[in-house]
Protein backbone atom coordinates (compact mmCIF):
# COMPACT_ATOMS: atom_id res chain seq x y z
CA UNK A 1 0.00 0.00 0.00
CA UNK A 2 2.99 2.23 0.41
CA UNK A 3 5.38 2.60 -2.48
CA UNK A 4 9.00 2.10 -1.54
CA UNK A 5 10.93 5.36 -1.58
CA UNK A 6 14.32 6.57 -0.53
CA UNK A 7 13.78 7.89 2.97
CA UNK A 8 15.30 11.19 3.96
CA UNK A 9 14.64 12.22 7.57
CA UNK A 10 12.57 15.40 7.68
CA UNK A 11 13.93 18.49 9.36
CA UNK A 12 12.58 21.71 10.75
CA UNK A 13 14.19 25.09 10.23
CA UNK A 14 16.64 24.35 13.06
CA UNK A 15 17.50 20.91 11.68
CA UNK A 16 15.51 18.91 14.24
CA UNK A 17 13.32 15.99 13.18
CA UNK A 18 9.67 17.15 13.55
CA UNK A 19 8.45 13.53 13.75
CA UNK A 20 10.89 11.84 16.14
CA UNK A 21 8.44 9.13 17.22
CA UNK A 22 8.15 7.85 13.64
CA UNK A 23 10.46 5.30 12.11
CA UNK A 24 12.05 6.39 8.84
CA UNK A 25 9.62 4.49 6.66
CA UNK A 26 7.50 5.33 3.64
CA UNK A 27 4.60 6.55 5.80
CA UNK A 28 6.72 9.23 7.43
CA UNK A 29 8.21 10.16 4.09
CA UNK A 30 4.76 10.57 2.55
CA UNK A 31 3.73 13.04 5.25
CA UNK A 32 6.91 15.07 4.96
CA UNK A 33 6.89 15.09 1.16
CA UNK A 34 3.30 16.30 1.16
CA UNK A 35 3.96 19.12 3.63
CA UNK A 36 7.13 20.25 1.87
CA UNK A 37 5.43 20.26 -1.53
CA UNK A 38 2.28 22.19 -0.61
CA UNK A 39 4.15 24.78 1.48
CA UNK A 40 6.98 25.53 -0.97
CA UNK A 41 6.35 28.77 -2.80
CA UNK A 42 6.85 28.35 -6.50
CA UNK A 43 5.90 24.68 -6.37
CA UNK A 44 3.13 23.71 -8.81
CA UNK A 45 1.37 22.15 -5.82
CA UNK A 46 1.79 25.18 -3.53
CA UNK A 47 -1.30 25.79 -1.35
CA UNK A 48 -1.97 29.22 0.24
CA UNK A 49 -2.12 29.24 4.04
CA UNK A 50 -5.88 29.91 4.10
CA UNK A 51 -6.49 26.65 2.24
CA UNK A 52 -4.23 24.44 4.36
CA UNK A 53 -6.97 22.53 6.15
CA UNK A 54 -6.32 19.16 7.81
CA UNK A 55 -9.04 17.06 9.42
CA UNK A 56 -8.50 14.29 11.97
CA UNK A 57 -10.81 11.61 13.25
CA UNK A 58 -10.43 11.27 17.03
CA UNK A 59 -11.18 7.73 18.26
CA UNK A 60 -8.47 5.37 17.04
CA UNK A 61 -6.70 8.14 15.13
CA UNK A 62 -5.62 10.62 17.80
CA UNK A 63 -6.30 8.54 20.90
CA UNK A 64 -7.05 4.89 21.64
CA UNK A 65 -10.51 3.38 21.31
CA UNK A 66 -10.14 -0.04 22.96
CA UNK A 67 -11.71 -1.84 24.76
CA UNK A 68 -14.55 0.52 23.80
CA UNK A 69 -15.03 4.13 22.79
CA UNK A 70 -14.07 6.41 25.66
CA UNK A 71 -17.24 8.46 25.44
CA UNK A 72 -19.25 5.29 25.94
CA UNK A 73 -17.18 4.54 29.04
CA UNK A 74 -18.02 8.07 30.21
CA UNK A 75 -21.71 7.38 29.63
CA UNK A 76 -21.51 4.12 31.58
CA UNK A 77 -19.95 5.94 34.52
CA UNK A 78 -22.73 8.51 34.31
CA UNK A 79 -25.33 5.73 34.55
CA UNK A 80 -23.89 4.75 37.93
CA UNK A 81 -23.93 8.36 39.13
CA UNK A 82 -27.50 8.97 37.99
CA UNK A 83 -28.95 5.60 39.06
CA UNK A 84 -30.27 6.82 42.46
CA UNK A 85 -32.45 9.33 40.57
CA UNK A 86 -33.87 6.57 38.34
CA UNK A 87 -35.17 3.60 40.34
CA UNK A 88 -36.83 2.30 37.17
CA UNK A 89 -33.37 1.52 35.79
CA UNK A 90 -33.10 -1.43 38.17
CA UNK A 91 -35.55 -3.38 36.03
CA UNK A 92 -35.27 -1.75 32.59
CA UNK A 93 -32.52 -2.64 30.14
CA UNK A 94 -30.00 -1.58 29.03
CA UNK A 95 -29.64 0.18 32.39
CA UNK A 96 -30.45 -2.84 34.58
CA UNK A 97 -27.70 -4.90 32.97
CA UNK A 98 -25.24 -2.02 33.19
CA UNK A 99 -25.85 -1.64 36.90
CA UNK A 100 -25.23 -5.39 37.32
CA UNK A 101 -21.96 -5.09 35.45
CA UNK A 102 -23.27 -7.17 32.53
CA UNK A 103 -21.88 -5.11 29.67
CA UNK A 104 -22.48 -7.79 27.05
CA UNK A 105 -26.23 -7.89 27.65
CA UNK A 106 -26.50 -4.14 28.05
CA UNK A 107 -24.89 -3.48 24.69
CA UNK A 108 -26.49 -6.42 22.88
CA UNK A 109 -29.16 -4.03 21.64
CA UNK A 110 -26.56 -2.41 19.39
CA UNK A 111 -26.81 1.22 18.31
CA UNK A 112 -30.36 1.79 19.68
CA UNK A 113 -29.22 0.69 23.15
CA UNK A 114 -26.15 2.93 22.96
CA UNK A 115 -28.28 5.88 21.83
CA UNK A 116 -30.63 5.25 24.76
CA UNK A 117 -27.71 5.29 27.19
CA UNK A 118 -26.24 8.45 25.67
CA UNK A 119 -29.60 10.25 25.64
CA UNK A 120 -30.18 9.48 29.30
CA UNK A 121 -26.69 10.52 30.43
CA UNK A 122 -25.97 13.51 28.15
CA UNK A 123 -29.20 15.50 28.51
CA UNK A 124 -31.27 17.25 31.16
CA UNK A 125 -28.59 19.80 32.00
CA UNK A 126 -27.25 23.01 30.53
CA UNK A 127 -24.33 23.02 28.12
CA UNK A 128 -22.20 24.67 30.81
CA UNK A 129 -23.12 21.99 33.34
CA UNK A 130 -22.31 19.23 30.87
CA UNK A 131 -18.99 20.90 30.06
CA UNK A 132 -18.04 20.78 33.75
CA UNK A 133 -19.18 17.16 34.11
CA UNK A 134 -16.90 16.16 31.23
CA UNK A 135 -13.98 18.14 32.67
CA UNK A 136 -14.41 16.49 36.07
CA UNK A 137 -14.56 13.01 34.51
CA UNK A 138 -11.55 13.56 32.25
CA UNK A 139 -9.61 14.79 35.27
CA UNK A 140 -10.27 11.70 37.39
CA UNK A 141 -11.26 8.70 35.22
CA UNK A 142 -8.73 6.02 34.31
CA UNK A 143 -8.44 3.63 31.38
CA UNK A 144 -9.57 0.11 32.40
CA UNK A 145 -6.41 -1.58 31.04
CA UNK A 146 -3.54 0.89 31.46
CA UNK A 147 -4.98 2.73 34.50
CA UNK A 148 -3.79 5.93 32.87
CA UNK A 149 -5.88 9.09 32.47
CA UNK A 150 -7.71 9.04 29.17
CA UNK A 151 -5.88 12.20 28.15
CA UNK A 152 -2.63 10.19 28.26
CA UNK A 153 -4.03 7.55 25.92
CA UNK A 154 -3.15 9.74 22.96
CA UNK A 155 -0.77 8.77 20.18
CA UNK A 156 2.56 10.55 20.48
CA UNK A 157 3.30 10.22 16.72
CA UNK A 158 -0.02 11.90 15.89
CA UNK A 159 0.60 14.71 18.36
CA UNK A 160 3.79 15.36 16.42
CA UNK A 161 1.90 15.41 13.12
CA UNK A 162 -0.53 17.99 14.52
CA UNK A 163 2.35 20.22 15.62
CA UNK A 164 4.25 19.70 12.36
CA UNK A 165 1.25 20.73 10.30
CA UNK A 166 0.50 23.79 12.40
CA UNK A 167 4.15 24.83 12.25
CA UNK A 168 3.71 24.82 8.47
CA UNK A 169 0.62 27.00 8.35
CA UNK A 170 -2.09 24.35 8.58
CA UNK A 171 -5.27 24.72 10.57
CA UNK A 172 -6.10 21.38 12.23
CA UNK A 173 -9.64 20.19 12.93
CA UNK A 174 -11.13 17.21 14.74
CA UNK A 175 -13.92 15.63 12.68
CA UNK A 176 -15.26 12.78 14.78
CA UNK A 177 -18.31 10.63 15.28
CA UNK A 178 -17.89 11.42 18.98
CA UNK A 179 -19.94 14.08 20.69
CA UNK A 180 -18.87 17.62 19.90
CA UNK A 181 -19.59 18.76 23.47
CA UNK A 182 -17.71 15.77 24.90
CA UNK A 183 -14.53 16.66 22.99
CA UNK A 184 -14.52 20.45 23.22
CA UNK A 185 -13.75 20.74 26.97
CA UNK A 186 -10.31 19.10 26.60
CA UNK A 187 -9.31 19.19 22.90
CA UNK A 188 -7.28 22.39 23.19
CA UNK A 189 -5.31 21.22 26.22
CA UNK A 190 -4.61 17.76 24.81
CA UNK A 191 -4.26 18.41 21.06
CA UNK A 192 -3.87 22.17 20.73
CA UNK A 193 -7.17 22.20 18.81
CA UNK A 194 -9.53 24.93 20.08
CA UNK A 195 -13.24 24.15 20.57
CA UNK A 196 -14.29 26.07 17.46
CA UNK A 197 -12.19 23.64 15.40
CA UNK A 198 -14.00 20.54 16.68
CA UNK A 199 -16.68 18.95 14.49
CA UNK A 200 -18.69 16.11 15.97
CA UNK A 201 -22.05 14.51 16.58
CA UNK A 202 -24.52 16.57 18.57
CA UNK A 203 -27.80 16.44 20.41
CA UNK A 204 -30.47 19.08 20.17
CA UNK A 205 -30.33 22.08 22.49
CA UNK A 206 -32.92 24.64 23.49
CA UNK A 207 -32.44 28.26 24.56
CA UNK A 208 -34.38 29.34 27.62
CA UNK A 209 -34.29 31.74 30.55
CA UNK A 210 -33.73 29.98 33.88
CA UNK A 211 -34.06 32.24 36.87
CA UNK A 212 -33.46 35.24 34.67
CA UNK A 213 -30.28 33.71 33.26
CA UNK A 214 -30.02 32.65 29.59
CA UNK A 215 -28.97 29.00 29.21
CA UNK A 216 -28.80 26.30 26.57
CA UNK A 217 -30.49 23.09 27.73
CA UNK A 218 -29.39 19.74 26.35
CA UNK A 219 -32.32 17.67 25.06
CA UNK A 220 -32.54 13.86 24.72
CA UNK A 221 -32.80 14.10 20.93
CA UNK A 222 -30.23 13.61 18.16
CA UNK A 223 -29.33 16.67 16.13
CA UNK A 224 -26.54 15.41 13.83
CA UNK A 225 -24.41 12.27 13.49
CA UNK A 226 -20.93 13.16 12.28
CA UNK A 227 -19.94 9.75 11.01
CA UNK A 228 -19.49 8.09 7.62
CA UNK A 229 -21.29 10.23 4.99
CA UNK A 230 -22.03 12.76 7.73
CA UNK A 231 -18.37 13.74 7.98
CA UNK A 232 -18.11 15.59 4.64
CA UNK A 233 -21.42 17.28 5.49
CA UNK A 234 -20.08 18.32 8.89
CA UNK A 235 -16.88 19.59 7.29
CA UNK A 236 -18.86 21.67 4.81
CA UNK A 237 -21.20 23.12 7.44
CA UNK A 238 -18.59 23.83 10.13
CA UNK A 239 -15.41 24.55 8.17
CA UNK A 240 -16.57 25.72 4.75
CA UNK A 241 -13.41 24.51 2.98
CA UNK A 242 -12.50 21.09 1.63
CA UNK A 243 -9.49 19.71 3.54
CA UNK A 244 -6.31 18.94 1.62
CA UNK A 245 -5.30 16.36 4.24
CA UNK A 246 -7.44 13.91 6.19
CA UNK A 247 -6.50 11.31 8.79
CA UNK A 248 -8.66 8.39 9.93
CA UNK A 249 -8.56 4.75 11.02
CA UNK A 250 -11.88 3.11 10.24
CA UNK A 251 -14.73 2.73 7.78
CA UNK A 252 -16.42 5.60 9.58
CA UNK A 253 -13.76 7.83 8.03
CA UNK A 254 -14.07 6.55 4.45
CA UNK A 255 -16.19 9.39 3.10
CA UNK A 256 -14.04 12.04 4.78
CA UNK A 257 -10.95 10.54 3.15
CA UNK A 258 -12.73 10.40 -0.20
CA UNK A 259 -13.87 14.01 0.15
CA UNK A 260 -10.40 15.28 1.05
CA UNK A 261 -8.57 13.31 -1.63
CA UNK A 262 -11.12 14.06 -4.34
CA UNK A 263 -10.19 17.72 -4.78
CA UNK A 264 -7.60 19.10 -7.17
CA UNK A 265 -3.90 19.46 -6.51
CA UNK A 266 -1.72 17.55 -4.05
CA UNK A 267 -3.69 15.72 -1.35
CA UNK A 268 -2.93 13.47 1.62
CA UNK A 269 -5.30 10.76 2.83
CA UNK A 270 -3.89 8.68 5.68
CA UNK A 271 -5.16 5.69 7.63
CA UNK A 272 -3.80 4.59 11.00
CA UNK A 273 -3.81 0.79 10.89
CA UNK A 274 -3.82 -0.85 14.32
CA UNK A 275 -1.34 -3.70 13.90
CA UNK A 276 0.49 -3.79 17.24
CA UNK A 277 -1.12 -6.16 19.74
CA UNK A 278 1.79 -5.80 22.18
CA UNK A 279 2.15 -2.05 22.57
CA UNK A 280 -1.48 -1.23 21.72
CA UNK A 281 -4.20 -3.40 20.13
CA UNK A 282 -4.33 -5.15 16.75
CA UNK A 283 -7.66 -5.07 14.92
CA UNK A 284 -9.26 -4.15 11.60
CA UNK A 285 -11.78 -6.02 9.43
CA UNK A 286 -13.42 -8.16 12.13
CA UNK A 287 -13.58 -5.57 14.91
CA UNK A 288 -16.81 -3.93 16.04
CA UNK A 289 -14.72 -1.08 17.46
CA UNK A 290 -12.79 0.82 14.79
CA UNK A 291 -13.98 -1.51 12.01
CA UNK A 292 -11.52 -1.11 9.12
CA UNK A 293 -12.53 -2.95 5.96
CA UNK A 294 -13.77 -0.81 3.05
CA UNK A 295 -11.35 1.99 3.90
CA UNK A 296 -8.42 -0.42 3.83
CA UNK A 297 -9.43 -1.58 0.37
CA UNK A 298 -9.95 2.03 -0.75
CA UNK A 299 -6.46 2.92 0.48
CA UNK A 300 -5.00 0.19 -1.73
CA UNK A 301 -7.08 1.22 -4.73
CA UNK A 302 -6.45 4.95 -4.40
CA UNK A 303 -2.84 5.03 -3.22
CA UNK A 304 -3.63 6.48 0.19
CA UNK A 305 -0.99 6.31 2.91
CA UNK A 306 -1.47 3.50 5.44
CA UNK A 307 0.41 3.71 8.73
CA UNK A 308 1.42 0.32 10.09
CA UNK A 309 1.45 1.12 13.79
CA UNK A 310 3.79 -1.77 14.60
CA UNK A 311 6.39 -0.91 11.97
CA UNK A 312 6.04 2.83 11.47
CA UNK A 313 5.87 4.11 15.06
CA UNK A 314 8.82 4.03 17.45
CA UNK A 315 6.51 4.65 20.38
CA UNK A 316 2.74 4.64 20.81
CA UNK A 317 1.72 6.71 23.81
CA UNK A 318 3.62 9.54 25.53
CA UNK A 319 4.22 7.17 28.47
CA UNK A 320 5.36 4.26 26.28
CA UNK A 321 2.85 1.46 25.63
CA UNK A 322 -0.03 -0.32 27.34
CA UNK A 323 2.34 -2.58 29.29
CA UNK A 324 4.07 0.34 31.04
pLDDT digits (tens, 9 = 90+) for 186-228: 999 999 999 999 999 999 999 999 999 999 999 999 999 999 9
Q: Which residues form the domain of 75?
A: 70-140
Query: pTM for this structure?
Result: 0.94
Q: How far apart, in whole angstroms, are the C-alpha atoms of residue 60 and residue 323? A: 18
Final residue in a domain of this structure, among 140, 166, 185: 140
Final residue in a domain of this structure, among 113, 140, 167: 140
CB 309 within 8 A of CB 272: yes
Residue 254 lies in a domain: yes
Same domain membership, residue 33 and residue 135:
no
Q: What DSSP character marks residue 282?
A: B
How do the pLDDT tens digits run along the chain, 324 residues long? 333 333 344 555 567 999 999 999 999 999 999 999 999 999 999 999 999 999 999 999 999 999 999 999 999 999 999 999 999 999 999 999 999 999 999 999 988 999 999 999 999 999 999 999 999 999 999 999 999 999 999 999 999 999 999 999 999 999 999 999 999 999 999 999 999 999 999 999 999 999 999 999 999 999 999 999 999 999 999 999 999 999 999 999 999 999 999 999 999 999 999 999 999 999 999 999 999 999 999 999 999 999 999 999 999 999 998 878
Split into its structural domains, the chain has a count of: 2
Task: Check residue 173 and give left, alpha or beta (phi > 0: left; psi -120 to 50: alpha).
Answer: beta
Residue 290 lies in a domain: yes
Work out the number of other CB atoms within 10 angstroms of the CB of residue 136.
11
Residue 174 lies in a domain: yes
Same domain membership, residue 243 and residue 162:
yes
Q: What DSSP character marks residue 49?
A: G
CATH of the domain at 161: 3.40.50.1000
Residue 145 lies in a domain: no
Strand-pair category, 245-248 with 171-179: unpaired
Same domain membership, residue 61 and residue 123:
no
Same domain membership, residue 161 and residue 74:
no
Final residue in a domain of this structure, among 140, 168, 197: 140
pLDDT digits (tens, 9 = 90+) for 115-152: 999 999 999 999 999 999 999 999 999 999 999 999 99
Same domain membership, residue 183 and residue 96:
no
Amino acid sequence: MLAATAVVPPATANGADPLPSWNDTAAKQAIVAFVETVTKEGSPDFVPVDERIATFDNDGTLWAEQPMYFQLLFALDRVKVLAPQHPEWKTNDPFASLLKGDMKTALSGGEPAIMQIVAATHSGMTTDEFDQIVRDWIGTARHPVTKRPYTEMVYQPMLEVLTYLRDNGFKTFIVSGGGIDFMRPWSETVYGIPPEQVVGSSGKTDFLMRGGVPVLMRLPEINFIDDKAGKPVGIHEHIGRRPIAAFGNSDGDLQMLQWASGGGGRRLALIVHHTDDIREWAYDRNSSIGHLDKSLDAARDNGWTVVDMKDDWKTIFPFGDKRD
